[in-house]
Structure formats: C-alpha cells, structure tokens
Structure 1
Amino acid sequence: MKENIIFIHGLTGTKRAFKKQIEYFNQEYHTYTYDLLGHGEHIGKHVHFTLDNLVKQLEAFYDANGIKEAHICSLSYSCYPSAIFANKWKERVKSLCFIGGHYNAPSKLLDVLKFYWDTRDEDYETWLKKYSNDIYPKESILDPYSAISKRIYYKFGLKLDDQILKNAIWHRLNYDLRSHLEGLSTPVLWVMGEYDSLYKSTLTDLKSIIPHVIYKEIKHAGHAANLFRPNCFRDVYENFLVHYTMEKTSQRKMLNII
C-alpha cells in the first residue's frame, strides 16, 4: 500500500512550489499539497493568519482526504504549523522534512525579524521592498539565488493581505517552536541551501534540540533548495524516505520474531 506525502509551501508561495517533487514521488507515494490560508487561489483575501488556524487547516486537509498518517515536507515558515501538528498528532505523522526550516534562536535572522516588526507601520509596499531585500542578502558574486528569491517574495508578497507577513514575523519572534521540536520523536530531515546563511544562523543548537535529526546541505542552492536544485533535493529526500521505510520494516520484523 502506498504511503502518503503532504507538501506544504512557504510564505508568498503556492502549492505549485512542489510541482516537480509531486510528479516524481507520485510514482511510489500518494502525494498531496494545498495553498496556505490567504495564498494561491485565495491570495489577497483577508484571513485570520494564526498558527492555530494553520494547524486546523492541516487537520481539515487530513480529514477531507481521508489521510490517517503521512510524511510531511514543508518549506521555510511552514515548519511552524508542521512541527506543532506533529506534536499534537504524533500518530498521524510518519516523518518530517523541513526545507529552509528555522526557529526563534538568537541569530542574525531574529535581528532582521525584530527590525521589520518594529517598522511594520511603514507604507506596506516600501516596507516589503526593504524586508525582501534583507531576508535574502547576497552572499557572494557566485550567489544568484538571493536576487531571484527577493524578486519572487516581493512580487507575490504585494498580492497578499498585508497582515499575513507581519503576523508570520510575530509568530517567529514570540512562539516557542523549540519546545515542539524538542518533543519530536518522528524521523526528521532538515535541508538547507548552501547560500542560506541568514536562515542557517538560527540552527546553532539544532542537534541538541533534535538529537536524531538528519541534516543535509544542498550545494549551489538558496533558501528554497527544492526549487533551485530539484533533482538534488529529490535524491536527498528519497534516500531519507527509503532509509526510514527500511528501518521501520526491520523493526517490525524484529518485533514479530520476539
């Protein structure tokens, strides 16, 4: 029987962010994705963009599609609702994959978020232009990914209800995601792009928070590593899923012998 994978996009994105991964993994898995509140088909609409509502949205998606358990693969900010969901519904999550995941540890990223929270009353278009530029800083002349990321973020961020990105900053400044990460017992794959130092700055104590985490870094990739290097990400994720499945099968066989 095929297992399930749910792919969840990040801020300003849509469910098409995982188009290539869905096409590939659909051969061996049932693959699913959806638009976050206020995104995709509902972009521009006013929504109550809270972590509680995002978790409820994922719960409703499970129920609407008759999913009992699934692997969850989430991009960037979506690691927040995914981790919260995984702690609340441990039996419904087979594994977690965080691409560009981060949490509110003292870091360069947290400093940027604090600054833009404090200046959130500025004209939204001006504020977003500056914010997009600072969360995707250019790291070197060999880094073309920041320019692409900031252009996409700004273009689609303008179309969102202007409270969504500001609420997301508030969540990352104030919500204790680390306590949820510490409580995870499910297998966790954490994937970062080589040119993603700002977001990687939050991960200095990742191994102590999740001792069993598998950390992988994809060369020549920016923040959304699955978009910049889809084939590399596919191989990393597939190896993780195969290893996890083999390990669980072996454990079940041992239990049957005993």
Structure 2
Amino acid sequence: MEKETIIFLHGMVGNKNAFKKEIEKLETHYHCISYDFYDSEVSSGGSDPLSIELFLKQLDSKYRKAGIKKAHLCALSFGCIIAAAFARKFPEKVTSLTFVGGYLCNGPSKFIDTVTKLLEEKHKFDHPTWLRQCARLLNPNIACVTEDSEAIFLNYSLQMDPDLFVQALRLHLGYDSKAVLAGINIPILWVMGKEDHLYKGTLVNLKDCIPHVVYKEIKNAGHVAHIHKHQQFMSMFRSFLRTTASRRLLIVKRVTYV
C-alpha cells in the first residue's frame, strides 16, 4: 500500500529540522516532507510584501513537486497559521491537521498585545537590540521548563533577513484565525505544552471555533511540546493518525456498500 504523506511546517523562526526527531521515527511508514519557509521562493518575492498567500503558494509547490494529491499537515507555532489557511483554501489536499503550540491571532490576548507593542516601538532600537526585546517578551515558557527558549529564538531570528522578520511578525495583526478555522471540517489535533502560557492565553474560545478539535496538553512541556516531551507527543500523534485512517476507511466502506 502506498505511504501516506505528512508535511511538516516549522515556526516563524527556525528551519525544517523542527520535527527532525519525529520524521526519523515516522519515515518508515509515512512519506515525510519538511522545508524551510524562507527559501529563494519566498525571499526573492521581489517588491511583493510577505503574505499568507505567498506561504500558501510555497506549500502548494511542495505538493506539485512531490506529485502529492493529499497530505497530513503537522505544524509548529506560526506554521499552524499557514497550515490552517492552506486547509481552508484547499480542503481536498489535506487529510488532517496537527498543531503544536498553535494560537489564535484575533481577539484580546497578551500575545497580540505584545506583538502590537513590539512593532510600535521598533523605531526606538537598532535591529539586534529589538530582536532581543522580541525574544524576551515573546518567550512562552515559564521557569520550570529547562530550556533557554529566549536564546534559541534570538539565535534563529538573527539569521533571518531583518525585513522578512518584521513582515512575518506583522502578519499576526489583522489575521482572522477564527474565521479560517471555523470553515474547516478536517480532523484537527491541537497539542499544547501545559507551561506554554503566552500562547495558551489566545485559545479561550477554541472550541467555539472548531467544536471537533481534539485538544491535548502535555505536562511539564512548553511551546515546543513535541521536543520537550517527545514520547508523549508521538503517542498522541500516532493515535490521531491511526484514528483518522480508520475513519476514512469506514467512510470508504459505507460508500462502497451504498
């Protein structure tokens, strides 16, 4: 039987290795694809500003290049916005969605207030100093998570083109996450670290947007819960993939008998 495909999407900073360990565990049974957001396709966008649409075209090109008709999308943080928008635009191309550290952009939250303030005050700092402010204020984890997520964020953000970073951060403002998610009927697994308080604070009305979402929290984990608690995440993810496959098989059987 032909392998199903899983496409992995990283966060606003970082790269295609965000799910490296998960891919190593899954690639025996699944066709796994990961890619860097800020490749030549996005970075050489000419005079066009960075947009969700540009990221959707980039993702669609991965489908076409690999000859894929349908895939599971597994995304981290900002990548969840792209995955959701893609599923809304091309529902026939998405088997399921798995979000790690996902968040909602519209509605009052400390996260959106922080993003707004950072962008408003950018002119007061040189770029490296401003990025340090971003890393400090957007740090999602509390002290019990033994990871220097602030330093990791800063390191990756310093590797990005300054203008691309600002544009990517600005995409959060005015993006209607709730409207996008409300129109999605695809199976969704939403995994959060229990200590990821900054981003969890945006999810107060998550069930109102997507009543069918399978929401899970992992104890003693922060924003990158799949890294902090790899085994627990893999158990959830594999179970979700199996359940999704079983439901599809049941639908096929019903259609066949009809």
TM-score, with length taken from structure 1: 0.92
Matched to 1:2, the amino acid is: K
Give aligned pairs, total.
Answer: 250
1:143-191 deviations in Å (ceiling 9; x for gaps): 323xx21111101111111122321222111111221111001001111
Number of the residue aligned with 1:236: 236
Number of the residue aligned with 1:107: 109
Alignment of 1:11-30 (within 5 A): 11-30=12-31
Number of the residue aligned with 2:199: 199
Any conservation in 1 of the 2:8–2:33 contact (CA below 8 Å)?
Answer: yes
Number of the residue aligned with 1:136: 139
The alignment-based identity, stated in percent, is: 37
- 1:138: Cα distance to partner? 5.1
Alignment of 1:24-63 (within 5 A): 24-38=25-39, 48-63=49-64
Gaps spanning 5+ residues in structure 1: where?
Answer: none
Distance 2:132 2:22 in 1: 30
Number of the residue aligned with 1:165: 165
- 1:124: Cα distance to partner? 0.8
Number of the residue aligned with 2:9: 8
SS of structure 2 residue aligned to 1:236: helix
Matched to 1:61, the amino acid is: K
Any conservation in 2 of the 1:103–1:177 contact (CA below 8 Å)?
Answer: yes
Any conservation in 2 of the 1:136–1:150 contact (CA below 8 Å)?
Answer: yes
Any conservation in 2 of the 1:8–1:75 contact (CA below 8 Å)?
Answer: yes
Structure 1 runs (4+) deviating above 4 angstroms are 45-48
Distance 1:118 1:80 in 2: 23
Any conservation in 1 of the 2:141–2:197 contact (CA below 8 Å)?
Answer: no
Matched to 1:113, the amino acid is: V
Any conservation in 1 of the 2:141–2:198 contact (CA below 8 Å)?
Answer: no
TM-score, with length taken from structure 2: 0.92
Any conservation in 2 of the 1:46–1:161 contact (CA below 8 Å)?
Answer: no
Distance 1:102 1:212 in 2: 16
Matched to 1:91, the amino acid is: E
1:78-124 deviations in Å (ceiling 9; x for gaps): 11111111111110000001111112221111111111111122211
Root mean square deviation of aligned Cα: 1.5
CA spacing shift, 1:138–1:246, aligned 2, 3 Å: closer
SS of structure 1 residue aligned to 2:55: helix
Number of the residue aligned with 1:226: 226
Number of the residue aligned with 1:71: 72
SS of structure 1 residue aligned to 2:67: coil
**1:116 maps onto 2:118 in alignment:** yes
Matched to 1:8, the amino acid is: L
SS of structure 1 residue aligned to 2:173: helix
Number of the residue aligned with 1:97: 98
